[in-house]
A and B are shown apart, each in its own frame.
Chain A
Amino acid sequence: MRGRRTVGWVFAALAAAALGVSLVVLIVLIAITALQAGPITSMRAVSGAGISLSLRSLDIPGTRDSLAYATVAQVEAGSPAAGLGMSRGDALIEVGGTGVDRPSRAWDTVGAAPGGREVTLPVAWMPRSEVTLGALRATSVQGAPRVVLSSPSESAKAGALRAGDVLLAVGGIPIVGTRQAWEALVVAARTQGTPIELSLERDGELQVLRWDPTVRAELRFVRDPLRAWWTFLTTLNEPRYPERAGLLPAFAGSVYVVLVMGAVAFPLGIAGAVYLEEYAPSNVLTRVIEVLVANLAGMPSAVVGIIGLEVFARALGAGRSILAGGFTLSILILPMMIVAVREALRAVPQTLREAALAVGATRWETVRHHVLPYALPGILTGTILSFSRALGEAAPLLLLGAFLFVTYVPQGLGDSFTVVPLQIFEWATRPQDGFATVAAAAIVVLVALLLVLNAVAIILRNRFQRRWSG
Chain B
Amino acid sequence: MSEHEALPVLSTRSFSLWYGSHQAVIEVNLDIAERQITAIIGPSGCGKSTLIRAFNRLNDLIPGVRTSGEILFRGETIYGRGVDPVNVRHHIGMVFQKPNPFPKSVFENVAFGLRINGFRGNLAERVESALERAALWDEVKDDLHRKTGYDLSGGQQQRLCIARALAVDPEVLLMDEPCSALDPIATAKIEDLIRELASSVTVAIVTHNMQQAARVSDFTAFMLLGELVEFGLTRELFTRPKDSRTEAYITGRFG
Contacts and interface: CB of A to CB of B under 8 A. Distances in A.
Interface of A: 281-282, 349-362, 365, 369-370, 373-374, 467-468, 470
Nearest to B57: A357
14 contacts: A351-B100, A352-B100, A354-B61, A357-B61, A357-B86, A359-B112, A359-B164, A360-B89, A369-B116, A373-B103, A374-B103, A468-B150, A470-B103, A470-B151
Interface in B150-209: 150-151, 161, 164-165, 167-168
B168 A359 contact: yes
Contacts of B126: none
Interface of B: 56, 58, 61, 63-64, 86-87, 89-90, 93-94, 96, 98, 100-103, 112-113, 116-117, 148, 150-151, 161, 164-165, 167-168
A282 B117 CA distance: 29
Given A467-B103, A470-B151, A355 B161 contact: yes
A281 B90 CA distance: 24
Contacts, number: 72
Contact of B58 (A354, A365, A373): A354
A360 B161 CA distance: 14
Given A356-B102, A357-B61, A359-B116, 12 more contacts: A282-B64, A351-B96, A352-B100, A352-B103, A353-B61, A358-B58, A359-B112, A359-B168, A360-B87, A369-B112, A468-B150, A470-B103
B63 A359 contact: no
Contacts of B98: 351
A464 to B, nearest CB: 11
B54 to A, nearest CB: 13
Q: Is chain A's binding surface mostly helix, strand, loop or mixed?
A: helix
B86 A361 contact: yes
Given A359-B89, A359-B164, A360-B113, A282 B63 contact: yes
B116 A365 contact: yes
A468 B150 CA distance: 8
Contacts of A282: 63-64
A-B residue pairs, 7 tightest by C-beta: A470-B150, A359-B113, A351-B100, A358-B94, A360-B90, A282-B63, A355-B100
A470 B116 contact: no
Contacts of A352: 100, 102-103
The residue in B86, B93, B168 that gathers the most chain A C-beta atoms within 10 A of its C-beta is B86
Given A352-B100, A352-B102, A358 B93 contact: yes
